């Protein structure tokens, strides 16, 4: 009987338990550089079997929100090195989430105030976060321009370079490719954002091509068993939709099974919202079977709205790891609280994005 509190192997990563801190955007990295408070924040949470960092931009073009960290300049990597060293001293493991937002950006955040890039020139009906006078301000995303096919090898290159930086310069144990929540790779996957007529649009293998090229390049860059992939088959986050997600994600899972991944990380339902959407049915069990039947050996990680009972039920049904997002914001000692069935601190959504220590490093652990 697998338990949340028992060790598990995820590819090359030996994890002390099955509780994972999900990636959480916190907007506290001015100039893309994490500061001392971010070292404290991750160390406080290092009893998780695995920490997944907040999304880190792979390139200036990949930035979609104010004050998110980057992975492409040496001061950014030096900042991350202080985080990974401290987490390792505390006995934890940490991977870095590789993020390109695609069309979910704003001209104010793009190099030269250029238009954000996307598979097709279709604006996402969503908002991004700018910071004005230290306070988060929501702004509608800008009209994107379609990437040319000639630019796509550069995107693959940027993911691989950022992955190499994360592991070889910044000291992360591995990386997670952000293929979820309506960002660039999810935009390519799904019909609502991808209306291309070249080899990267249309049929499922075409829409999956960029994600799979990125995954192959990143696995090559970091070595076997050190790359995870995050997917969200039906989330409406950031105005994303696919006409027929089941065959799309069964295909993606079978293709990813051929790579030596650490794990596959799936968001069930609406990210940060309902776990099931009546208007967007999806069989996650079928996707897991597709992955296993195709020989996939990575750990199977699930996310969204879990508590201890639901997590244990998911492990009993074949999941290997469960990631917790918001509960980790307000409970640095979430592992202990789950183990002891202790009450959880409530989180304050006003301090999720931007600001300093308040709502970041000041949530109390149990005495
Ligand atoms: C909330 C606010 C900003 C970004 C995601 C990276 O949804 C995010 C994100 C979430 O994956």
| pLDDT band, very low/low/confident/very high, at 313 (cuts 50, 70, 90) | very high
The residue whose CB lies within 8 Å of the most ligand 1 atoms, and thus the one to mutate among 65, 138, 184, 235, is 65
Does residue 300 surpass a pLDDT of 60? Answer: yes
DSSP state letter for 70: B
Domain ranges, ordered by start, for the chain: 8-351
Share of the chain above pLDDT 90, in %: 96
Q: Which residue has the tokens 């000041």?
A: 362
Topology of the domain comprising 8-351: TIM Barrel (3.20.20)
| Residue 139: predicted pLDDT | 94
Q: Is 183 a catalytic residue?
A: yes
What is the Cα–Cα distance from 117 to 61, expressed in whole angstroms? 8
Q: Can you tell me which residue has the tokens 């508590």?
A: 307
Name the pairing type of β-strands 227-231 and 94-99: unpaired
Segment 319-350, tens digit of pLDDT: 999 999 999 999 999 999 999 999 999 999 99
Encode pLDDT of 138-153 as tens digits.
Answer: 999 999 999 999 999 9
Mean pLDDT of 90-94: 98
Best CA proximity match to 68, nearest among 187, 178, 194 = 178
Q: Decide whether any atom of ligand 1 lies within 6 Å of the 65 Cβ.
A: yes
- How does pLDDT run across 27-66, given as a tens digit for each residue? 999 999 999 999 999 999 999 999 999 999 999 999 999 9
Determine whether the shortest distance from the Cβ of 52 to ligand 1 is under 6 A: no
Indicate whether 252 pLDDT > 60: yes
Query: Could you tell me which of 42, 49, 51, 50 has the C-alpha nearest to residue 5?
Result: 49
User: H or E stretch including 131?
Assistant: strand 127-132
What tens digit of pLDDT does each residue of 275-297 get?
999 999 999 999 999 999 999 99
Tens of pLDDT, residues 126-137: 999 887 887 878
Determine the pLDDT at residue 60.
Answer: 98
pLDDT at 193: 98
In this predicted structure, the answer to whether residue 317 has a pLDDT above a threshold of 50 is yes
Residue located nearest, by CA, to atom 8 of ligand 1: 25
Residue 2 has pLDDT above 70, yes or no: no
Residues 200-210: tens digit of each pLDDT: 999 999 999 99
Q: How do residues 116-125 score in pLDDT, each as one tens digit?
A: 999 999 999 9
Residue 170 pLDDT greater than 50, yes or no: yes
Return the SS3 of 106.
coil
Place of tokens 């650490």: 262
Distances (CA, A) of 171 to 95, 199, 219, 365: 9, 36, 16, 27
* CA angle 62–261–299, rounded 5-degree value: 115
CA dihedral 125, 129, 130, 135 (to 10 degrees): 140
Which atom in ligand 1 lies closest to the alpha carbon of residue 230?
11
Residue 238 clears pLDDT 80, i.e. is over it: yes
Cα–Cα nearest to 304, from 227, 215, 230: 230
pLDDT higher for 169 or 2? 169
Q: Pocket of ligand 1, candidates 22, 23, 25: which has the most ligand atoms within 8 Å of its Cβ, to mutate?
A: 25
Q: 310 to each of 16, 47, 235, how far by Cα in Å?
A: 20, 20, 20
Q: Is the pLDDT reported for residue 234 higher than 90?
A: yes
* Contact status, residue 295 vs residue 257, Cβ threshold 8 Å: yes
Task: Mark out the alpha helices in the chain (DSSP H runs).
Answer: 36-44, 74-89, 152-164, 184-189, 204-207, 209-222, 245-256, 284-293, 308-316, 326-330, 334-339
Gap from CA of 28 to ligand 1 centroid (Å): 14
The answer to whether the beta carbons of residues 84 and 171 sit under 8 Å apart is yes
The burial of 101, by beta-carbon neighbours within 10 Å (0-12 exposed, 13-18 middle, 19 or more buried), is given as buried
Sign of the Cα torsion 149, 154, 156, 158 reads: negative
Place 1 in a pLDDT band, splitting at 50, 70 and 90: very low
What average pLDDT score do residues 150-167 get?
Answer: 98
């Amino acid at each position: 009987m697998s338990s949340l509190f028992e060790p598990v192997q995820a590819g090359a990563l030996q994890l002390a338990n099955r509780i994972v801190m999900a990636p959480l955007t916190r907007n506290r990295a001015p100039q893309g550089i994490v500061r001392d408070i971010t070292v404290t924040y991750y160390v406080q949470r290092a009893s998780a079997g695995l920490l997944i960092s907040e999304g880190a931009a792979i390139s200036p073009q990949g930035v979609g929100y104010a004050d998110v960290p980057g992975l492409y300049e040496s001061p950014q990597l030096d900042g991350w090195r202080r985080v990974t060293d401290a987490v390792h001293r505390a006995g934890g493991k940490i991977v870095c989430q590789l993020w390109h937002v695609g069309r979910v950006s704003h001209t104010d955040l793009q190099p030269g105030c250029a238009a954000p890039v996307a598979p097709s020139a279709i604006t996402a009906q969503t908002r991004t976060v700018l910071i004005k006078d230290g306070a988060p301000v929501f702004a509608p995303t800008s009209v994107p321009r379609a990437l040319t096919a000639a630019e796509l090898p550069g995107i693959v290159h940027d993911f691989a370079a950022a992955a190499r930086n994360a592991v070889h310069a910044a000291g992360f144990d591995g990386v997670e490719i952000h293929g979820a929540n309506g960002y660039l790779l999810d935009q390519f996957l799904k019909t609502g954002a991808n209306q291309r007529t070249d080899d990267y649009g249309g049929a499922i293998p075409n829409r999956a091509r960029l994600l799979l090229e990125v995954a192959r390049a990143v696995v090559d860059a970091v070595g076997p068993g050190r790359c995870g992939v995050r997917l969200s088959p039906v989330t409406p986050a950031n105005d994303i939709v696919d006409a027929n997600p089941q065959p799309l994600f069964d295909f993606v899972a079978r293709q990813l099974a051929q790579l030596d991944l650490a794990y596959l990380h799936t968001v069930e339902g609406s990210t940060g919202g309902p776990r099931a959407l009546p208007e967007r049915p999806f069989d996650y069990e079928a996707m897991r079977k597709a992955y296993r039947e195709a020989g996939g050996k990575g750990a199977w990680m699930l996310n969204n709205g879990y508590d201890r009972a639901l997590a244990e039920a998911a492990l009993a049904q074949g999941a290997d790891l469960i990631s917790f997002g918001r509960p980790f914001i307000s409970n640095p000692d979430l592992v202990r609280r789950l183990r002891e069935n202790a009450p959880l601190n409530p989180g304050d959504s006003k301090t999720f994005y931007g600001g300093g220590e308040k709502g970041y490093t000041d949530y109390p652990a149990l005495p």
